[in-house]
């Protein structure tokens, strides 16, 4: 589907549920012609949204009604789980024909969703040139620059003239949906520079390409993590990033749409972990499977609760002597949890955007410790004043000192754990959600009850 056709679509994302109901109604009525007419009005991304709101059988029926031109575009837009489901219901021959029409990076993602046996059968049915291209992309690890790059790009040799380069680009028009930059390579296909299309078109025909190309080009190796690629694009405002190997050979390009997809994927992944749920749950429909995905994190929370209960039992004597201490347990644990989540959120965001480095752990901890002292003094003083009027000066002293200490511990824990995980090679988002909240609850109770016991022992003496 051309860009011009896509601009005429009327569908908006807010209507997804309503349109899905209409599609289901037309299917049940057998109104195939009306359904095809309705689907023809949608952008492929909107059609994909509708498919994802249907059950598997309905999704197959609707997909089979799509015209041959739009089917590959829709398949590119569907989420991985539904893409795999759709692929299962298609013949090898039809799936191979769709793969040939898809962008190489999207086609690679689809092939990786298939079983090894079926992937081999589908690849064997693809044209030799496209087959070799896909096999070259399949060797790269998932979530790397090589895995998200497109192998289609416009390139001309450095000794070409502008007129020759324009003619070469015209010959690539059928193969490429968008051409914003022309890459300049030598005879060994090593990247020498990049040329914006407008600059190529506005230069005199007899001008050598090498004299007008931009040589200061930001490139990435194929093994670089996709998150690092997105950070580079953000830092340098890049719309296209060429991927080169160790010899400088141009392998492909990463477009701004790929970068947006990476950012969206990373955000979804981090939000899943912040909420203490598995990433796969986002597209899951089975209630029992969703339950299984959430249960491990709930068990972690339960374990933390039991640890807190055990800790409280160790301070039973102090609590029996001064039952008032129990009144303020929720205040201390809630405040500690909030402080820990604040610190961890800042640390995780900073690590994700590159604003904070895991190698500079001590300076960041020192900063957070001072923040904890200031906020702890403020909230501790406020709590002590209010508690003093209510329960007396002794309780006020215990609560004020406990609040100060809890702030210091929670800010350091919320910062230290994500940075430590990052340095160890793990996703720092794992530190948030149930994990850091549970850990802070245990620490905060220990601090509060420990301080209370020390003061009570002193008062008894």
What are the pLDDT digits (tens) for 222-262? Answer: 999 998 898 898 888 888 999 999 999 999 999 888 888 88
- Residue identified by tokens 């008894």 is 460
Residues 6+ apart with CB under 8 A from 210: 158, 159, 184, 192, 193
- Residue identified by tokens 């601009």 is 7
The pLDDT score that the predictor gives to residue 7 is: 41
Sign of the C-alpha dihedral, residues 409, 410, 415, 417? positive
Closest CA to 146 of 228, 31, 42, 78: 228
For 169-201, what is each residue's pLDDT tens digit? 988 877 777 788 999 999 999 999 999 999 999
The pLDDT score that the predictor gives to residue 14 is: 47
DSSP code at position 425: T
155-272 has which CATH code? 3.10.580.10
Distance CA(151)–CA(424), nearest Å, equals 33
The pLDDT score that the predictor gives to residue 5 is: 40
Measured CA distances, 94 to 99, 106, 125 (Å):
9, 16, 10
| pTM (predicted TM-score) | 0.64
The pLDDT score that the predictor gives to residue 3 is: 40
CATH architecture of structural domain 3-144 = Alpha Horseshoe (1.25)
286-460 has which CATH code? 1.10.357.20
Domain locations in the chain?
A: 3-144, 155-272, 286-460
- Which regions of the chain are under pLDDT 70? 1-15, 267-287, 289-302, 304-306, 308, 311-312, 314-323, 352-360, 426-427, 429-435, 457-461
Measured CA distances, 337 to 137, 331, 347, 433, 440 (Å):
45, 10, 15, 10, 6
């Amino acid at each position: 589907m051309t860009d011009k056709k896509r601009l005429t679509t009327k569908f908006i994302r807010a209507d997804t549920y309503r349109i899905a109901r209409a599609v289901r109604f037309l299917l049940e009525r057998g109104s195939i012609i009306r359904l095809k007419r309705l689907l023809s009005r949608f952008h492929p991304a909107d059609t994909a949204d509708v498919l994802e709101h249907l059950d598997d059988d309905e999704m197959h029926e609707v997909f089979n009604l799509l015209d041959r031109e739009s089917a590959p575009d829709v398949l590119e837009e569907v989420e991985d789980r539904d893409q795999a489901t759709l692929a299962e219901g298609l013949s090898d021959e039809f799936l191979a024909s769709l793969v040939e029409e898809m962008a190489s990076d999207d086609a690679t993602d689809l092939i990786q969703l298939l079983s090894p046996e079926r992937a081999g059968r589908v690849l064997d049915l693809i044209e030799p040139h496209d087959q070799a291209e896909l096999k070259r992309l399949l060797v790269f690890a998932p979530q790397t620059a090589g895995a998200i790059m497109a192998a289609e790009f416009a390139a001309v040799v450095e000794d070409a003239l502008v007129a020759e380069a324009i003619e070469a680009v015209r010959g690539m028009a059928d193969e490429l949906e968008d051409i914003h930059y022309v890459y300049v390579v030598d005879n060994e296909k090593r990247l020498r520079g990049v040329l914006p299309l407008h600059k190529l078109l506005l230069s005199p025909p007899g001008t050598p390409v090498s004299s007008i190309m931009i040589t200061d080009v930001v490139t990435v190796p194929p093994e670089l993590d996709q998150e690092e690629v997105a950070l580079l694009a953000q830092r340098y405002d890049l719309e296209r990033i060429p991927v080169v190997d160790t010899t400088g050979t141009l392998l492909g390009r990463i477009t701004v749409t790929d970068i947006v997809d990476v950012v969206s994927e990373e955000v979804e992944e981090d939000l899943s972990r912040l909420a203490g749920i598995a990433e796969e749950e986002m597209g899951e429909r089975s209630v029992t499977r969703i339950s299984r995905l959430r249960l491990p994190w709930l068990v972690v929370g339960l374990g933390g609760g039991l640890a807190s209960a055990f800790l409280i039992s160790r301070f039973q004597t102090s609590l029996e002597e001064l039952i008032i201490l129990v009144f303020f347990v929720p205040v201390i644990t809630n405040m500690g949890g909030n402080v820990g989540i604040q610190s961890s959120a800042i640390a995780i965001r900073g690590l994700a955007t590159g604003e904070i480095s895991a190698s500079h752990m001590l300076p960041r901890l020192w900063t957070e410790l001072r923040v904890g002292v200031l906020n702890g003094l403020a909230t501790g003083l406020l709590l002590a004043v209010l508690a003093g009027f209510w329960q007396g000066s002794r309780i006020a002293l215990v609560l004020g000192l406990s609040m100060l200490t809890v702030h210091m511990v929670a800010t350091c824990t919320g910062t230290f754990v994500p940075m430590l995980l990052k340095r160890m090679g793990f996703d720092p988002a794992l530190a948030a959600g149930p994990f850091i909240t549970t850990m802070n609850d245990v620490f905060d109770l220990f601090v509060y009850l420990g301080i209370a016991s020390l003061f009570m022992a002193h008062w008894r003496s």
